[in-house]
Amino acid sequence: CGVFGVTGVAEAANFVALGLHALQHRGQEAGGIISHDAERGFNSAHRFGYVRDNFTKQSLMETLPGPLAIGHVRYSTAGAKAAHIRDVQPFFGEFSMGGCAVAHNGNITNADALRRELIERGSIFQSGSDSECIIHLMARSIQRNIPERMKDALRRVEGAFSVIAMTRTKLIGVRDPLGVRPLVIGKLGDDAYALSSETCGLDIIGAEFLREVEPGEMVVISKGQIESSRPFHPTPSRFCIFEHVYFSRPDSIIGGRSVYETRRQIGVELAREAPVEADLVCPVPDSGTPAAIGYAQESGIPYGMGIIRNQYMGRTFIEPTDQIRNMGVRLKLNVNRSLIAGKRVVLVDDSVVRGTTSRKIKDMILDAGAKEVHFRIASPPTAWPCFYGVDTPDRDKLLAANMTPEEMREWIGVDSLSFVSLDGLYRAAGEAKGRDKSCPQYCDACFSGDYPVAPFDQLERGFQM
Ligand code: 5GP
Ligand code: SF4
Ligand code: MG
Q: Are 33 and 119 in a shared domain?
A: yes
Q: Are strands 218-222 and 280-283 parallel, antiparallel or unpaired?
A: unpaired
Kindly list the protein residues that place their beta carbon closer than 5 angstroms to ligand 3, a single-atom ion: 287
Query: Which residue lies with its CA nearest to atom 4 of ligand 1?
Result: 354
* Segments forming the whole domain that contains residue 315: 259-429
Q: Are 73 and 108 in a shared domain?
A: yes
Angle value at C-alpha 332, between 327 and 337, nearest 5 degrees: 110
* More confident call, 329 vs 242: 242
349 annotated ligand binder: yes
Q: Are 386 and 276 in a shared domain?
A: yes
Q: Is residue 181 part of a domain?
A: yes
Spacing, Cα 214 to ligand 1 middle (Å): 28
Q: Is residue 447 part of a domain?
A: no
Q: Is residue 461 part of a domain?
A: no
At residue 333 the predicted structure's pLDDT band, cuts being 50, 70 and 90, is confident
Atom of ligand 1 nearest to the CA of 329: 2
Q: Are 268 and 222 in a shared domain?
A: no
Q: Count structural domains, the chain.
A: 2
Q: Are 269 and 163 in a shared domain?
A: no
Q: Are 292 and 206 in a shared domain?
A: no
Q: Is residue 333 part of a domain?
A: yes
Spacing, Cα 165 to ligand 1 middle (Å): 30
Q: What is the pLDDT of residues 84-111, one digit of tens each?
A: 999 999 999 999 999 999 999 999 999 9
Per-residue pLDDT at 320 exceeds 60: no
Q: Are 267 and 213 in a shared domain?
A: no
Q: Counting ligands in written order, which one lies closest to the CA of residue 246?
A: 1
Single residue among 237, 271, 292 that ends a domain in this structure: 237
Q: Are 206 and 267 in a shared domain?
A: no
Q: What is the pLDDT of residues 36-53, one digit of tens each?
A: 999 999 999 999 999 999
Average pLDDT, the chain: 93
Q: What is the mean pLDDT of residues 420-446?
A: 81
Q: Are 88 and 233 in a shared domain?
A: yes
Q: Are 181 and 293 in a shared domain?
A: no
- What pLDDT score was predicted for residue 430? 85
Ligand 2 neighbours by CB, cut-off 6 Å: 180, 240-242, 386, 388, 390, 443-446
Q: Is residue 450 part of a domain?
A: no
Q: What is the pLDDT of residues 123-173, one digit of tens each?
A: 999 999 999 999 999 999 999 999 999 999 999 999 999 999 999 999 999
What φ, ψ does residue 210 adopt, rounded to 5°?
-85, -60
Q: What is the mean pLDDT of residues 228-240?
A: 95
DSSP state for residue 316 in the 8-state scheme: G
Q: What is the pTM of this model?
A: 0.95
Per-residue pLDDT at 56 exceeds 70: yes
| CATH at residue 307 | 3.40.50.2020
At residue 312 the predicted structure's pLDDT band, cuts being 50, 70 and 90, is confident
Q: Is residue 91 part of a domain?
A: yes
Q: Are 190 and 225 in a shared domain?
A: yes
- What pLDDT score was predicted for residue 78? 46
Spacing, Cα 382 to ligand 1 middle (Å): 10
Q: Is residue 242 part of a domain?
A: no
- What pLDDT score was predicted for residue 70? 98
Q: Is residue 434 part of a domain?
A: no
* More confident call, 75 vs 307: 307
Spacing, Cα 189 to ligand 1 middle (Å): 39
| CATH at residue 131 | 3.60.20.10
Q: Counting ligands in written order, which one lies closest to the CA of residue 392?
A: 1
Q: What percent of the chain has pLDDT over 90?
A: 86
Per-residue pLDDT at 79 exceeds 60: no
What φ, ψ does residue 35 adopt, rounded to 5°?
-125, 165
Q: Which helix (H) or strand (E) holds 354?
A: none
Atom of ligand 1 nearest to the CA of 75: 19
Q: Are 115 and 176 in a shared domain?
A: yes
Q: Which of 1, 100, 200, 282 is catalytic?
A: 1
Catalytic (active site) residue 133: no
Exposed/middle/buried for residue 58 (C-beta within 10 Å: 0-12, 13-18, 19+): exposed
